């Protein structure tokens, strides 16, 4: 059954969405990174529906979205000073902090790990929903990306409807807040050790973390913490993604605007900057699938910062579904 689709979200519709979450329904909503599929993070039954709709493995933890940094103490204990610095500097924003969990964070949220991922999103509609949910007694919204597991994350409400609409129920909602501004998922930072460690790159970069904390960011080689988007193959369209190659006739092509389209290739995106690249990447991969393309050639962006996150997503996408 098709879910209710809400655009131009008013205060009344956010209050309605908050009550639906409290009653155990799912609400898909925009964040600055991608669209999330939200449920009451304290309800095992509601969270089980996220896993069901996404087809997500049960040991894959969820990120809990909270209204402000003061809510960290509800979900986490033993919060290091550097995590508070990061929260102060980058929340609301595209950053998830992994912290030792409190008693509120149950196994069905953490993937049976002793840690929980927390984030305050920088999107007015997401924050409006979180604050409305808090008003009616909600403690946080669990929200992975609103797509089938391992596939391309949605950056528009229409993409959510196309991806998971058939799995939603009548009382579920999709909130339309326009296209996501960042376009790739949040940076995930492990804050359980003496220094921060990046578990998934994103718009909050190594340099930004080091400047905020005064600490050297550890490498991710030996981390045993499972987090969203960490599998070898992820973010994959149906088409085969080939990296750093020119497209042939009838194949999709994604590259910065200064690189010309090969003869006969189908241009899917021509980003003008790294920020633009991140914003349009997933929509371009989805567009390739709607065109029924068998192969998409992508010239990856070079450099540090956000380009690292884009290359991370593309390398996982290139391994296929």
Q: Who's near 28: CB < 8 A, 6+ residues apart?
A: 3, 35, 36, 37, 38, 146, 157, 160, 164, 168, 172, 173, 174, 175
Q: What is the mean pLDDT of residues 146-160?
A: 92
pLDDT in tens, 9-49: 777 889 999 999 999 999 999 999 999 999 999 999 999 99
Task: Please tell me whether residues 91 and 154 are part of one structural domain.
Answer: yes
pLDDT > 90 fraction of the chain, expressed in percent and rounded: 86
Instruction: Output the pLDDT for position 149.
Output: 87
pLDDT digits (tens, 9 = 90+) for 280-306: 999 999 999 999 999 999 999 999 999
Structure tokens at 201: 């790159």
The predicted pLDDT at position 167 comes to 95
114 and 255 share a domain?
no
> At which of 146, 178, 213 does a domain end?
213
Q: Are residues 29 and 93 in the same domain?
A: yes
pLDDT 10s digits, 36-90: 999 999 999 999 999 999 998 888 899 999 999 999 999 999 999 999 999 999 9
Q: Could you tell me if 167 and 292 lie in one domain? A: no
**258 CB-near residues (< 8 Å, 6+ apart):** none
Number of domains in the chain: 2
- Chain position carrying tokens 């884009």: 310
Say if 234 falls within a structural domain: no
Residue 231 domain-assigned (yes or no): no
pLDDT digit string, tens, across residues 203-253: 999 999 999 999 999 877 667 777 765 566 567 899 999 999 999 999 999
Nearest to 282 by CA among 241, 244, 248, 251: 241
Which pLDDT score is estimated for 299? Answer: 98
Expressed as residue numbers, the domain containing 18 is: 4-213
CATH number of the domain that 53 lies in? 3.90.870.10
Longest dimension (CA), the chain: 59
Asked whether residue 101 falls in the same domain as residue 15, the answer is yes
């Amino acid at each position: 059954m098709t879910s209710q689709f809400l655009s131009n979200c008013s205060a009344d519709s956010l209050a309605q969405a908050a009550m639906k979450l409290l009653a155990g329904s799912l609400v898909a909503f925009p964040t600055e990174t991608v669209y999330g599929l939200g449920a009451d993070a304290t309800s095992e039954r509601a969270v089980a529906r996220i896993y069901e709709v996404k087809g997500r493995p049960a040991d894959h933890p969820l990120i809990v979205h909270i209204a402000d940094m003061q809510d960290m103490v509800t979900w986490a204990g033993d919060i290091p000073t550097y995590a508070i610095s990061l929260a102060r500097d980058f929340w609301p924003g595209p950053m998830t902090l992994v912290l030792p969990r409190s008693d509120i964070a149950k196994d069905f949220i953490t993937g049976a790990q002793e840690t929980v991922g927390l984030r305050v999103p920088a999107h007015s509609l997401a924050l409006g929903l979180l604050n409305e949910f808090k008003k009616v007694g909600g403690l946080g919204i669990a929200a992975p990306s609103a797509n089938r597991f391992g596939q391309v994350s949605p950056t528009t409400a229409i993409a959510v409807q196309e991806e998971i609409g058939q799995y939603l129920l009548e009382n579920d909602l999709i909130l339309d807040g326009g296209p996501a501004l960042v376009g790739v998922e949040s940076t995930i930072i492990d804050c359980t050790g003496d220094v921060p460690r990046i578990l998934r790159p994103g718009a909050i970069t190594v340099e930004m973390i080091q400047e905020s904390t005064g600490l050297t960011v550890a490498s991710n080689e030996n981390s045993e913490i499972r987090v969203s988007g960490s599998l070898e193959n992820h973010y994959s369209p149906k088409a085969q993604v080939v990296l750093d190659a020119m497209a042939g006739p009838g194949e999709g092509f994604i590259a910065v605007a200064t690189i010309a389209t090969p003869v006969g290739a189908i241009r899917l995106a021509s980003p003008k900057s790294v920020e633009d690249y991140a914003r349009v990447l997933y929509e371009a991969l989805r567009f390739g699938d709607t065109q029924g393309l068998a192969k998409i050639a992508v010239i990856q962006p070079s450099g540090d910062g956000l380009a690292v996150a884009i290359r991370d997503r593309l390398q996982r996408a290139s391994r296929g579904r």
